[in-house]
Structures are given as C-alpha cells and as structure tokens.
Amino acid sequence: MRPLNQNTVFYVPETSPSDPNQLSAFIDRELQRVKMAIDLLALGHLDKTYVAPTKPREGDIRLADGTSWNPGSGAGFYGYYGSAWVKLG
C-alpha cells in the first residue's frame, strides 16, 4: 500500500482487499485519502503541472513548472480562457 501523501489533490483508489476482515481498515484508509484531497482543494492547493493538459476547458487553472511545460510566460499560475493559457499575475 502507498503511504498517505498530503501534497497532492489527486485521489486514485487502491485495490480492495480480498480478505473481508481487512475491509474495515481499507475503507478507513480510503476515506482519509479522499478527505485529504478534498481538504487541499478547499484550501486552494494546486499541484505543479509538468505537462500541458490534453483537453483543457475554459476556466481551468494550473500551476505550470515553466520548464517541462511553459504555456508562454514561464513558471506560474495560468488560466485557460478563449482557447489559450493566460498567465494570472
């Protein structure tokens, strides 16, 4: 099992155990992982993005690393608006 990571907002579910006796602990861990992802989103946390999103939608916001993915003005926060990434501040 992967350790809980408090630095990312992504949640990828683990495979459920085949032993029913381990199910309660599994559900507790999964709920904690979901809670951490939701809490980070609620606090406004964005993970650094290293690759351009494949299907951006108007209103998307990303934190570009500026090297692997440079939407135009180096590292920083970008919003997707009018079919282009626009640096925010």
Domain total for the chain? 2
Query: For residue 71, what are the contacts with CB-CB under 8 A and spacing of at least 6?
Result: 52, 62, 64, 78, 85, 87
Q: Could you tell me the pTM of the whole model?
A: 0.67
Encoded tokens for 37: 């992802």
Boundaries of domain holding 68:
48-87
Query: pLDDT (tens digit, 9 = 90+) per residue, 33-43?
Result: 999 989 988 89
Q: Are residues 11 and 26 in the same domain?
A: yes
pLDDT at 58 over 90: yes
Q: Are residues 53 and 32 in the same domain?
A: no
Encoded tokens for 86: 């626009």
Q: Are residues 17 and 36 in the same domain?
A: yes
Q: Are residues 34 and 1 in the same domain?
A: yes
Distance CA 75, CA 41 (A): 21
